[in-house]
């Protein structure tokens, strides 16, 4: 969990009443104090009738502050991979960034200065973390917070994450399970009967619960729409929608199913969404680190980093990098906007086709 609580709300609905059934989350292996570790977890005790079509990595950072821009650094990370309908492996580590841990952070998380000082250095942990995530989908509870720190720490090492779409489980729960009084992780987990198997506000315990929440949302979505398989891109698209539009959107897209099984195929995308996904697919197809570049209408060339979510209003933004290595963000609608220049219609950023 983060150093704050995010409380969101929606109008009531009975769409996902089965969310209120309790179940026991997958067993968690205790983390070592000073070294990263991988391990596997058994299938969740409640059987599911759906599979995620592609892997998702649920991530959680503990940090020394609210924002990298204000000097905050990561102190602990947990990344939990979901394949199909189960948690299969994880990467967990305390992180030494050489920073002072405020006393209130120690009181909140239990992470002390001594623990961080003895932990693996950030130069070792972040490259291992990026390798673990790879090109899977990334998820987090309030994803803009965690992705912001991931990008900042990677940037300091001259690295670039390769994950695909980003799924925010706060926004997803808000849209798929409306009517709950709080969508911060602790109260939401308690309401849904998902129990912490470790100390809340520690990375592994929070990531474990958030992963179980994602599985629960997928299970109930699959049950309602009779889906055997759900593509994570569907969750990415749902994240972008106004809550009132979600039921009609799901009804429309779930009518498009492949002939073998009931897999959701997301076809309804705006031109901007399609451009971004095509850019990502282009990177996947080349199996290389070749960047996707865009030319600004004034001539500057910029490299696409990823799509993120603005923390203040949960709106989508594009993160891109200039030739000098500095990172910039623009609202997605502005990035792909068509503007008038000298009486002519031009696109603000145009992808450079090699």
Check residue 137 and give its pLDDT: 96
Query: What secondary structure letter does DSSP report for 230?
Result: E
Check residue 140 and give its pLDDT: 96
Percent of the chain with pLDDT over 90: 38
Check residue 287 and give its pLDDT: 34
Give me the mean pLDDT over the 249-263 stretch.
60
pTM: 0.63
What SS3 state is found at 340? strand
Torsion sign, CA atoms 63, 98, 130, 155: positive
Domain boundaries, the chain: 17-253, 271-351
- Pairing type for strands 74-84 and 51-63 reads antiparallel
Question: What's the pLDDT tens digit per position in 91-106?
Answer: 999 999 999 998 878 8
Listed ranges 140-154, 233-247, 249-263, 278-292; the one with the highest mean pLDDT: 140-154
> Which is more confidently placed, 138 or 4?
138
Using the predicted structure, report yes or no on whether residue 73 has a pLDDT greater than 90: yes
Judge: domain 17-253, CATH 3.40.50.300. no
Strand order in the sheet with 293-296: 327-331, 316-321, 301-309, 293-296, 349-351
What is the pLDDT of the chain when averaged over all its residues? 76
Provide CATH code, domain 271-351: 2.30.30.320
Q: How far apart are CA 314 and CA 274, in angstroms?
A: 20
Percent of the chain with pLDDT over 70: 71
- Pairing type for strands 316-321 and 327-331 reads antiparallel
């Amino acid at each position: 969990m983060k150093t704050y609580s995010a409380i969101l709300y929606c109008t009531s609905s009975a769409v996902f009443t089965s969310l209120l059934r309790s179940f026991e989350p997958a067993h968690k292996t205790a983390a070592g104090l000073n070294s990263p570790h991988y391990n596997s977890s058994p299938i969740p005790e409640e059987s599911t009738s759906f599979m995620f079509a592609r892997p998702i990595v649920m991530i959680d950072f503990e940090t020394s502050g609210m924002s990298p821009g204000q000097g905050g650094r990561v102190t602990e990370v947990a990344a939990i991979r979901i394949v199909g309908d189960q948690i299969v492996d994880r990467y967990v580590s305390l992180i030494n960034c050489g920073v002072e841990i405020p006393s209130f952070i120690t009181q909140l998380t239990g992470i002390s200065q001594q623990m961080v000082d003895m932990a693996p250095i950030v130069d070792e942990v972040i490259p291992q973390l990026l390798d673990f995530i790879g090109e899977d989908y990334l998820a987090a509870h309030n994803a803009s917070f965690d992705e912001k720190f991931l990008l900042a720490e990677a940037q300091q090492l001259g690295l670039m994450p390769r994950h695909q779409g980003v799924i925010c489980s706060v926004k997803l729960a808000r849209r798929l399970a409306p009517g709950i009084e709080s969508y911060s992780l602790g109260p939401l987990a308690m309401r849904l009967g998902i129990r912490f198997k470790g100390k809340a506000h520690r990375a592994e315990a929070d990531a474990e619960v958030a992963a179980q929440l994602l599985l629960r949302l997928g299970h109930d979505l699959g049950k309602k729409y009779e889906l055997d398989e759900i593509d994570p891109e569907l969750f990415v698209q749902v994240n972008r929608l106004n809550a009132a539009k979600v039921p009609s959107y799901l009804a429309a897209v779930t009518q498009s199913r492949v002939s073998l099984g009931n897999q959701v195929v997301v076809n309804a995308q705006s031109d901007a969404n399609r451009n971004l996904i095509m850019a990502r697919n282009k990177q996947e197809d080349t199996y290389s680190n070749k960047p996707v570049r865009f030319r600004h209408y004034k001539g500057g060339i910029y490299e696409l980093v990823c799509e993120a979510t603005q923390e203040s209003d949960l709106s989508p933004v594009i993160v891109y990098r200039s030739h000098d290595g500095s990172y910039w963000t623009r609202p997605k609608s502005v990035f792909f906007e068509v503007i008038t220049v000298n009486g002519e219609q031009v696109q603000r950023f145009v992808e450079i086709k090699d």
